[in-house]
Chains A and B, each alone.
Chain A
Amino acid sequence: DAKTTQPNSMESNEEEPVHLPCNHSTISGTDYIHWYRQLPSQGPEYVIHGLTSNVNNRMASLAIAEDRKSSTLILHRATLRDAAVYYCILGGTSYGKLTFGQGTILTVHP
């Protein structure tokens, strides 16, 4: 499976935008880029996914580089409830299997 590289941690202030980067230089043409987040002691929660084009939903935006070797999850206005571990995952392999990396711990300051 292609791997992703994310910063271990990032910090933000409440109500400011947050850009969470992810590198995936070995991505294949059929790999989707998924983002999930996990709050402490909870199961992960789907955030967004995309293939080639930028994507927006009510939670976030996903900006995908033209060569697809990197992507950025954008939280437009961080809130304290956005503090979580954010995982960037490549998927689209058999049966939708997801391989989680270490993720980025996002801390949001009031």
Chain B
Amino acid sequence: GAVVSQHPSWVICKSGTSVKIECRSLDFQATTMFWYRQFPKQSLMLMATSNEGSKATYEQGVEKDKFLINHASLTLSTLTVTSAHPEDSSFYICSASEGFSFNEQFFGPGTRLTVL
């Protein structure tokens, strides 16, 4: 099956720093990529949808200036958490799909961010 990777798998940073998380589709071209956040014992919350070459569409309540998403190619999307604070500590998960309408989403393994 299709594989999506994320890097890094975990990161610890100091408050106020920025952290970049990469999401790559390894064996297919991802027309659309999604970014989710998951707090402990909670469900996944969609943060934004990105299409290659376009600006990301953010869900209501997600600060676009804080969570910068770039989908520069059909195999790579990045999420940058700017000026991270302890409340940004979470499990960040990306997913990718090949088409614009419904298609199976392939999820990455997630990135655990801890902000001290």
Contacts and interface: CB of A to CB of B under 8 A. Distances in A.
A12 to B, nearest CB: 21
Interface string A33-56: 000101001111110010000000
B101 A96 contact: yes
Tell me the interface secondary structure of chain B in the complex.
strand
Chain A residues touching B, majority SS: loop
Interface stretch (B70-78, B79-87, B106-114): B106-114
Nearest to B2: A46
B93 A44 contact: yes
B43 interface: yes
Nearest to A92: B102
B25 interface: no
A43 B102 contact: no
A95 B93 contact: no
Interface string A59-94: 000000000000000000000000000010001100
A10 interface: no
